[in-house]
Amino acid sequence: MNDTIVTVVGNVVDAPRRNNTQNGTVTNFRMASNARRYDASREEFVDSGTLWIDVECWGNLSSNVSASISKGDPVIVHGAMTTHSWESEAGPRSKPQIKAFSVGPNLQKGRALFTRDKFARTGEVVPPTPETTEDHGFPGADDESRVERDYLGAEDALQQMTEASPEPVHA
């Protein structure tokens, strides 16, 4: 297989659109990635161009993106780059597109609350319900602050803390 695999960091520039097709559920959105470089003569970073690209998400990713991503969100998209081609009145046209394997928030720009899909291992798409989505809009979110909490319980820890363990880093 000769797919061109890319990872693009940028911002969502329109509201994700979810559609049902013969091939399944797809969510599409457009993103912009602004390149920056250091200009030694000006001694500052400057914008040096913008990549505008359409993103296509299928299956569970489609459901999760449509429930999680909004216009303006900073995201990281990983997937296969393709070219979408079509005929118009002006002749042949084309534009770049990514078939996403994964989409996530850019945590350099803010925090996120991750909620694992209940049936993620089976491949079944389970949309959020009023019972699993509280007033925060996230499935499983509660009113208790998640700031400065590494784990919900010791059984969820990757390593048990000991007297010699370093303190967790918090801002």
Asked whether 74 and 106 are in contact (CB, 8 A), the reply is: yes
The residues, ordered by sequence, that sit 6+ positions from 33 with a Cβ below 8 Å of its Cβ are 8, 9, 10, 11, 50, 51, 53
| Residue extents of the structural domains in the chain | 1-107, 113-152
Is pLDDT above 60 for 155? no
Q: In this structure, how many other beta carbons lie within 10 angstroms of the beta carbon of residue 123?
A: 9
SS3 of 83-136: EEEEEECCEEEEEEEEEEEEEEECCCCCCCCCCCCCCCCCCCCCCCCCCCECCC
pLDDT digits (tens, 9 = 90+) for 85-113: 999 999 999 999 999 999 999 999 999 88
Superfamily per CATH, domain 1-107? Nucleic acid-binding proteins (2.40.50.140)
Is pLDDT above 70 for 13? yes
Residue predicted with more confidence, 104 or 48: 104
If you average pLDDT over residues 14-21, what whole number do you get? 94
